[in-house]
Structure 1
């Protein structure tokens, strides 16, 4: 409360300071236009003295020696940032100390997903931040050979997939970030894949007149490593 009162006092004093300067300037050039050269010089000297007096009063008002001690005992901006980082570290240390031991009893050994789960989803999380744009994105990867499509159905599916299909690895990759959360984007990807499979199985139009080509994919050959570059195993001396 005291700091708010002090700010109001400073603001009022600053306004009065500007008003005094403006009044003295008007008195010099606005109201005395018909002055002789000697009178104009005297008026200018008086205005300078008045300005000097006003500036001196302002300096005395903002003199740090006259301020109370509590007004200058706060940290600067970088000090507050350092304190925020210390609080974050302490928060995670408290979680390690008190929360993690209680979660250990719910831990389960890792098991590989069953072979029926052919869909692979990728999501990203940023520790310490929420609602970031890059955390909404979800990516779907699936091997086309595991979808159970044959002949014309597979051909139509690849035509619908377009550039999202990699013929070198036989993998379909799709990404989505239009929804507000990564879970909603994950569901949207699953619905899109189901719609593609459903459309590929329709017999009304199989797009037999449309050529299937993969000119968009740039094959990157991986040359074999020369045998002389392969390090030889070290033999131990007995």
Structure 2
């Protein structure tokens, strides 16, 4: 065996176990002196690195590349099979007006995952008369808003928003189905109470919109000023009767 082969074998004989590493180290104690415990982290006793393996950062990059290749194979081989399950989007009809929102943290346990929120346009509810609509908005209280909530999934240009929206949420129960059932039952009770003409209709009670004013005031964007009603004036708000019949030229 030549010297080059001996050097190569000496470099490759590095075992990961501590006992094997201690046996490979030569003893540096003087004759007659008490034996000292070998230092496993002594850099002088470590064999020379032969560049036969990648570093920790290199293994991390290789792992990322393997993960990307795995998903590329899935896209190439299995995503095409999902075309058989395509369905044309149909907007919700009036007989299904509820919009249910949930929260997910990627299958990680979190208390908010059991919460369920129900948003529904008031115009799509089975309210019989305008008096029932007035009573329903009174019962909703601060849960009513003239515009769809930002996190409701309902666009501002969708139909059914002429009478506002109601948002009911619940997170008191441990299961999502229980919270959704509670919110749905409360909505059913509100509709039944609003349609009940035998009791007091509260026609003499005005609608209370102070919660909307407080919301605009907290935003601190100037919408709480007198006469603005939460909306900033624009050119569209300029009175048309103030405009002259003929254009006026300024010399």
Q: TM-score, normalised by structure 1?
A: 0.53
Q: Offset at 1:144?
A: 1.1
CA contact (8 A) 2:169 2:183 kept: yes
Q: Offset at 1:61?
A: 4.3
1:16-31 matches, within 5 Å, as none
Is 1:214 aligned with 2:209? yes
CA contact (8 A) 1:123 1:135 kept: yes
Q: Offset at 1:204?
A: 6.8
Q: Offset at 1:164?
A: 0.8
2:18 corresponding residue in structure 1: 6
Aligned mate of 2:187, from 189, 193, 218: 193
Distance 1:81 1:188 in 2: 48
Give the 3 Å change call, closer, same or farther, for CA 73–122 of structure 1 in structure 2: same
Q: Offset at 1:100?
A: 1.0
1:29 corresponding residue in structure 2: none
Which is richer in helix? Answer: 1
Is 1:130 aligned with 2:107? yes
Distance 2:43 2:206 in 1: 83
Q: Offset at 1:165?
A: 0.3
Is 1:140 aligned with 2:118? yes
Larger gyration radius, structure 1 or structure 2: 1
Aligned mate of 1:174, from 155, 168, 172: 168
SS at match of 2:212: coil
Distance 1:225 1:58 in 2: 87
CA contact (8 A) 2:132 2:201 kept: no
Give the 3 Å change call, closer, same or farther, for CA 178–87 of structure 1 in structure 2: farther
Distance 2:43 2:125 in 1: 77
Q: CA RMSD in A?
A: 4.4
Q: TM-score, normalised by structure 2?
A: 0.50
Distance 1:86 1:183 in 2: 40
2:144 corresponding residue in structure 1: 165
Distance 1:85 1:178 in 2: 41
1:79-158 matches, within 5 Å, as 82=61, 85-125=64-104, 129-131=106-108, 133=110, 136-149=114-127, 150-158=129-137
Give the 3 Å change call, closer, same or farther, for CA 113–159 of structure 1 in structure 2: closer
Distance 1:83 1:183 in 2: 43
2:239 corresponding residue in structure 1: none
SS at match of 2:78: helix
Residues 46-101 of structure 1: per-residue CA shift (max 9 Å, x gap): xxxxxxx99xx56754323534679x96854x666655544543343232122212
Distance 1:116 1:102 in 2: 33
List alignment gaps of at least 5 residues for structure 1.
Answer: 11-52, 227-238
